[in-house]
Structure 1
């Protein structure tokens, strides 16, 4: 039987339509006979006595009315309200036609037959399609395990997605959850609306729910976070519909359902950017981004092209990274993009590029950022991060660039690692250069970790969860500040526009997040449970591996907590920090050019960091790489 149905389903669309048409032609005369039999209370009645031509005419007109209304164009398995409407119009047209034929005495149909025939015609077409749909779905899904879904939010979006899921081969919606008391207990679209308490007390268990779908596309991040924390004790997978700006066509589809992104939960509700700050250093200007293929650099490029630069120079050392961002920018913007393969350790090349394209604004994002790797390769890290910044700002000043913005990190504040110390040295050089010249406005923007960037814990945890764990965390109490990449990039651009020369800007990162809590929340969103130490209950373990060389438990954004001022942007602070004269720093940077990865040179370099970078003290054995 199942094989027969699959064969029928595999027929062409035209063949299926013709088959339904022939089926109607076969059944409609029987319906007409039933009408006469009911009228005369005689089951032996002859169909329209002596009027076989009228029998053929009425059947043909019935099928024609269905054709005219498009009833045969609907897919039976996608039965909908629109089909019922079209069918109602077809039947109404047929009833009116029969009354006209009877009135004009073109057939011998009694006036009591047309309306009765219309009811039977409507019932037959509706019932036959519903029966076919039921049989097909029952046969094809009898062995398929469908995800049993509870929908949080009984509003328009929830109702739309419920209607879509009812026709899905993979999901079945079973009830709504809503916090509005006026909706609780109501039946909407055939599904009952429960309160959160009722859902936990009986509905989740009663309906054996597999997944909770949040159908509230317009809520804020903070409200979404509250809802998820409310639903976490159910230990069910939580998915969501994207925000309204992503549902542009107004029709919700199954493909719109996505997993809740941890990035949405950790990021604050975005504050709209101050437009003049976004465009000040970009609109109608030639802009250059170093490290354009990295996580921050590439997002900076995406934000820059939205603000109509005259030209964008993307400067990157890695060929594939440059190729990727170049291709993406060209596909999504009409901006003139100039890709340049090069290192920030080539000051001569930087000068030539800036001069050739008359660059006006530089965002310096090129850096080595992975703490353990730089700790193992201290000279490479120092040269790229500190010396590369010095060469970049030297080239910008020499060639008359208007604005230079260094993207720095919270790891530069009282660093315990070479990576953070190298970024602080880069900051010191920019501060010193800003004091001896006033042609180029030099600013430093310092912020914490960006969610989803290369090397971030979020993609690492996702990968570990997909493999069944364990999740590796360095320490139970380790915390970090987090910000989304788009928000960080927009704030970098706005901070650069606030600069007056030598400014150190700090981005408001919100509250620090405990990495252990981040891991636990990601496991919960996957519908899994943490397996605590010493327990056999749960799905995913957390292994604590210990702090890595140079790693801190807590990060800071300020060296001096008291020496700051608020800017015109609520999430950007200006800090006033200790600096050194340029003529004191230049000999050290000159020596950095010449040193190699020998034990003696590394000792010298780390000694300079201890001298100039507040809080830095070398840790462990020197790595000679």
Structure 2
């Protein structure tokens, strides 16, 4: 029996769906005509009672037939049947009122000609009853169709989250949709909960999962475009955790093109977050340093390396060698620089490989007769290097040693190492890996007569891959929370343009063995940076003072090896240079024998995958690191 009912319901739905527009118009006209005798006999009954009803039925029959013809003509003329049931609103009701008045007037005129003597009161009642019956019939047919459609199991049943104007408009728009049927609202407004709006119940948000399971809800539509994106994201995430599919509805302004359909998040310009004036915008390009020469950039596809390539190209070198381990990064930077290189008359040479490959390094340096090496290749992400100490030390220390020694043997004029402030009294593995790389370069600088070796040390680069800004941007775009390791963490910051300009300028200053550092002003508090980014994106921070804010900032605790404050210098003093914002430090270095011993032990540790032995090299030779991730006072260190 259930199968038969289902088949009958399916056939009914298909029959209704297959009706043409003209057929649907004819049905509405027919319904109005059938309502005419009901309305007229009801008026006679009201005016004359049951005893006179039978007498008047036969007398009014000829007049009623003429009224039906006129009513059909008026209905078509007024386009009454052209209004779809789902769109039958206040305007449709007004048109029905005009139609009913004209029909009553026609009945009165025809009744007068036939001498029926029913009185004008009867025709007024007739018009009112006909009007009410016609309006009620349309709403009844709409409810019947909705009931039939809702029982169609093939339709997508949706719950609308948000019972405001947008939600109400959406419910009306979906009323007679062929595929989607709204079954309920949900809203955070306690005043609306428990009411029925547009014939649908308004639920508490906490009831949505159970209601969805009971009623077979397939999807939740977020109809709250005025709500901030983070809050929408938080609601969507909470609903998705219950297994529901969630989709957000754009605002009406977006749908008609008054608002661009883009994320609300607006990127913050890195220079706005420095807390100081940018350095280097007015620095002249040292064209003579690079013009007509062959430049090799290791790590050419990284944040620093790619910007090095762009700025070096401005000096119109004869050849630019892109040395990169990542195939994707190499492809990307090679494709980007193609047009710029043609304009500069520069040959681009992409080299796919690791700086730890001594044979490849020697082959590239000699074959292309490289003049200047800008060594930016490094594993720099602190947590990843902390978790992969052997790989970090091998790439950052042994890779630097391999490329630097190959540069010395090939007669390269200058070798510039890009280092980090984390090399100063480090508390994580990445820091000492960079400090050991510096010690290797310092040792070669002391023993080199031809090649000039120097290092550039700077703080965090705003916007570089893995840095705090892209992380905060991603977290804000997801609706938060923004994660902060400690409220008191401070860092030195510079833009990638500043960092690269520093490297290029240091290359011209270098005499051999210097560590160049940029005057970076005061360190920036990361908590303040997080708040700036949230507010710069158009949102507010949710905290105790503002519990209704958009984005929450969550303290997660310091990561292994993370310091509250970074330093730029190991020693106390520094030297000025030709530029007032750049200074140099001649720091204590290891002897040739000590460097050779450290490298030999580290190579053996890497070859045997002995992480403990590798870290013992760090603990022995890097000032400020105990081998356990703790800061050690300088006077307790092994003498360097």
The TM-score range, normalised by the shorter chain, is 0.5 to 0.7
Paired residue secondary structure (1:404): strand
TM-score, structure 2 as length reference = 0.55
Looking at structure 1, the residues matched to 547 and 296 of structure 2 have their Cα atoms a distance apart, in angstroms, of 55
Looking at structure 2, the residues matched to 258 and 303 of structure 1 have their Cα atoms a distance apart, in angstroms, of 29
Paired residue secondary structure (1:275): coil
Paired residue secondary structure (2:597): helix
The 5 A counterparts of 1:153-172 are: none
CA deviation after TM superposition for structure 1 residue 337, in Å: 0.3
In structure 2, the partner of 1:605 is 614
Is 1:398 the counterpart of 2:399 in the alignment? Answer: no
In structure 2, the partner of 1:614 is 623
CA deviation after TM superposition for structure 1 residue 497, in Å: 1.0
In structure 2, the partner of 1:502 is 513
Contact 2:358/2:403 (CA < 8 Å) preserved in 1? Answer: yes
Q: 1:570 aligns with which of 580, 596, 599?
A: 580
Looking at structure 1, the residues matched to 560 and 607 of structure 2 have their Cα atoms a distance apart, in angstroms, of 18
Q: 1:378 aligns with which of 389, 394, 399?
A: 389
In structure 2, the partner of 1:421 is 432
Q: 2:336 aligns with which of 328, 333, 355?
A: 328
CA deviation after TM superposition for structure 1 residue 536, in Å: 2.6
Distance 1:441 1:543, change over 3 A: same
Distance 1:262 1:475, change over 3 A: farther
In structure 1, the partner of 2:449 is 438
Contact 1:313/1:340 (CA < 8 Å) preserved in 2? Answer: yes
Q: 1:582 aligns with which of 585, 592, 601?
A: 592
CA deviation after TM superposition for structure 1 residue 367, in Å: 0.3
Distance 1:543 1:605, change over 3 A: same
Looking at structure 1, the residues matched to 544 and 569 of structure 2 have their Cα atoms a distance apart, in angstroms, of 36
Distance 1:510 1:280, change over 3 A: farther
- Where do 5+ consecutive residues of structure 2 fail to align? 1-164, 167-225, 229-260, 631-640
Looking at structure 2, the residues matched to 452 and 483 of structure 1 have their Cα atoms a distance apart, in angstroms, of 10
In structure 2, the partner of 1:284 is 292
The 5 A counterparts of 1:63-462 are: 259=266, 261-267=268-274, 268-275=277-284, 278-334=286-342, 335-462=346-473
Q: Deviations over 1:514-533 (max 9, x none)?
A: 11100101111122111114
CA deviation after TM superposition for structure 1 residue 534, in Å: 8.2
Contact 1:533/1:541 (CA < 8 Å) preserved in 2? Answer: no
- Where do 5+ consecutive residues of structure 1 fail to align? 1-142, 145-207, 211-253
Distance 1:540 1:328, change over 3 A: same
Paired residue secondary structure (2:552): strand
Q: Deviations over 1:381-438 (max 9, x none)?
A: 1010011000010000001000000000000000001100010000001001111111
CA deviation after TM superposition for structure 1 residue 463, in Å: 1.2
Contact 2:295/2:319 (CA < 8 Å) preserved in 1? Answer: yes
Looking at structure 2, the residues matched to 551 and 427 of structure 1 have their Cα atoms a distance apart, in angstroms, of 21
Q: 1:550 aligns with which of 561, 577, 602?
A: 561
Looking at structure 2, the residues matched to 585 and 397 of structure 1 have their Cα atoms a distance apart, in angstroms, of 16
Paired residue secondary structure (1:517): helix
Looking at structure 2, the residues matched to 519 and 258 of structure 1 have their Cα atoms a distance apart, in angstroms, of 14
Larger Rg: 2
Distance 1:544 1:598, change over 3 A: farther
CA deviation after TM superposition for structure 1 residue 439, in Å: 0.5
Distance 1:495 1:273, change over 3 A: farther
TM-score, structure 1 as length reference = 0.57
Contact 1:410/1:556 (CA < 8 Å) preserved in 2? Answer: yes
Paired residue secondary structure (1:610): helix
Contact 2:488/2:526 (CA < 8 Å) preserved in 1? Answer: yes
Paired residue secondary structure (2:290): coil
CA deviation after TM superposition for structure 1 residue 285, in Å: 0.6
